[in-house]
Amino acid sequence: MTADSGRQATMLAIPRHGLQKLIQALRDDGFETFGPLVRDGAVATGPIENVDQFPLGWLSEQDGGSYRLVEAGHPRFFDVTPGADGWKRYLFPPRQALFDLTAQDGSWRAEVPQTEATKRALIGVRPCELAAIQMQDRIFLRPPYADPFYRARRENLLLVVVNCLHPGDTCFCASVGTGPQAQAGYDLCLTELDESFLVEVGSPKGAALASAIGAEPASDAAQRAAEDGLAYARSHMGRHLDTKDLPQRMLANLEHPHWDEVAGRCLGCGSCALVCPTCFCWDAEETLVVGEGQQGRVRVWDTCFNPNHSYHAGGGTRQTVRSRYRQWLTHKLGSWVQQFGALGCVGCGRCITWCPAGIDLTLDTKALQLESDQ
């Protein structure tokens, strides 16, 4: 009936109370369920058993260096945009044991921990966050050294994505093509309407789940409402990033005076990297329990703002905050494309909101242009 008949085949719907059924169906199937919730004055992610735990009625006001949750009282679970906490730690834990050493015949053996078999379902993943997971898949699973810990968690992960109808003040997913609507890569994708959720199936697991919760074909009215909502969202992004020639602009301007200007504001705290859902740097540390003979190595999150992040035999490199900020941004918006085939930025805006100095990369990148365009 509409031009988009290909999608119509998979456009289902459930009534609002179907969401609890979805959670239950997942838990009955052995999944630990997680979703957004309000914690410590912000939206975070955590275990969810009941829809009551979702941030119903909340909105966030976000700007450079500023975040405030407001109890707006609207009837939606998912209108509030994410806070600093995302989903990265479910696939890439902040601390991961790599091996433990056990003594053996005058030598030792490295015992690698068993990989996880825990089934986890993430409910309420934003399209930008889905894009970040897909980007982390490219990073952690690329041959020839695919990460077995990541792979095990990823294979046991089920994703229920929720499209965004109410973008935040620092959001710019539309600029980088990661939202406000998810295209593929989810098991289920929901669009929250007043009376119902539209349900799109993205995988066999998703299809089984949709069937288990009694999802039925969506009405035309519902579909139109969703399309209108998404069109509104697309044109009401809080920020816009000019992505034209972005990688080239980054890498052609490594000595641009603008870096000095930003350096005057940047504290080098690394908050941007820590809240970024695609950042992947890590460090390895020894663990030693004196007296118990336990010795091993763990992997911990790290960022390029760490002054010891890079060095060589001649001494440290990136000795200034300027150079480290430049590294972070030219990697994210420049080198990343050559490494992983797409921008490292998914447009979630967290780095803007959670920067104590309010540095906004959508503004700062404007100064970096190609010579021919200036």
Partner 1 sequence: MNVSKTELIKELQAIPWFQELSSHHFDTLVDMARLVEVEMGEELYREGDRQDNMYIVLAGRIASDINVPGRGRRRIHTSEPMDVVGWSGITPVLRQRTASAIAIMPSRLAAFDAKALRAACEADHDLGYVVMRRLANVVAARLMVTRLQLVDMFSHPAEGSTP
Partner 2 sequence: MTTADIVQDTQPTAWMAPHPVRIEAIEHETENVATYRLAFVDPEIGRAYRFQPGQFNMLYVPGVGEAAISISSDPEDHDGVDHTIRFVGNVTGAIRKMAVGDVLGLRGPFGHPWPLDAYSGSDVVIAAGGIGLPPLRPVIHQLILHRENFGRIVVLYGARSPDELLFTEAFEDWRAHGIEVEVTVDRAEASWHGQVGVVPMLFYRLRLDPANTVVFSCGPEIMMRFVVFEALARKVPADRIFLSMERNMRCGQGACGHCQIGPYFVCQDGPVLSYARLEPFFSVEDF
Binding residues (CB under 8 A) for partner 1: these are 308, 311, 313-315
* Smallest gap from residue 361 Cβ to partner 2 (A): 19
The partner in contact with residue 320, picked from partner 2, partner 1, none with C-beta cut-offs of 5 to 8 angstroms by kind, is partner 2
* Smallest gap from residue 109 Cβ to partner 2 (A): 7
Three-state SS at 253: coil
76 binds partner 2 (CB under 8 A): no
Q: Residue 151, Cα to own-chain centre: how many angstroms?
A: 17
Token pair of 117 as six digits: 């078999």
Token pair of 145 as six digits: 């050294």
Give the one residue of 6, 73, 144, 341 binding partner 2; rule: CB under 8 A: 144
Sorted by sequence, the CB contacts under 8 Å of residue 357 that are 6+ apart come out as 64, 65, 265, 266, 267
Q: Which is nearer to partner 2, 16 or 256 (CB)?
A: 256
Report how far residue 225's alpha carbon sits from residue 192's, in angstroms, rounded to the nearest whole number.
10
Three-state SS at 66: strand
Residue with tokens 């998703």: 206
Give the one residue of 40, 73, 107, 291 binding partner 2; rule: CB under 8 A: 107
Give, in order, the Cα–Cα distances in Å from 76 to each of 56, 195, 278: 5, 10, 28
Which string of x and - marks every residue 305-344 that binds partner 2 (by CB under 8 A)? ---xxxxxxx--xxxx-xx--xx--xx--xxx-xx-----
- For 184, which DSSP code? S
**CB under 8 A: which stretch of 23-31, 57-65, 143-151, 226-234 binds partner 2?**
143-151
Residue 154 and residue 35 in contact, taking contact as beta carbons nearer than 8 Å: no
Q: Which is nearer to partner 2, 6 or 145 (CB)?
A: 145
Residues that bind partner 2 (CB under 8 A): 98-99, 101, 106-110, 112, 139-140, 142-145, 147-148, 251, 254-255, 280-286, 288, 295, 297, 299, 302, 304, 308-314, 317-320, 322-323, 326-327, 330-331, 334-336, 338-339
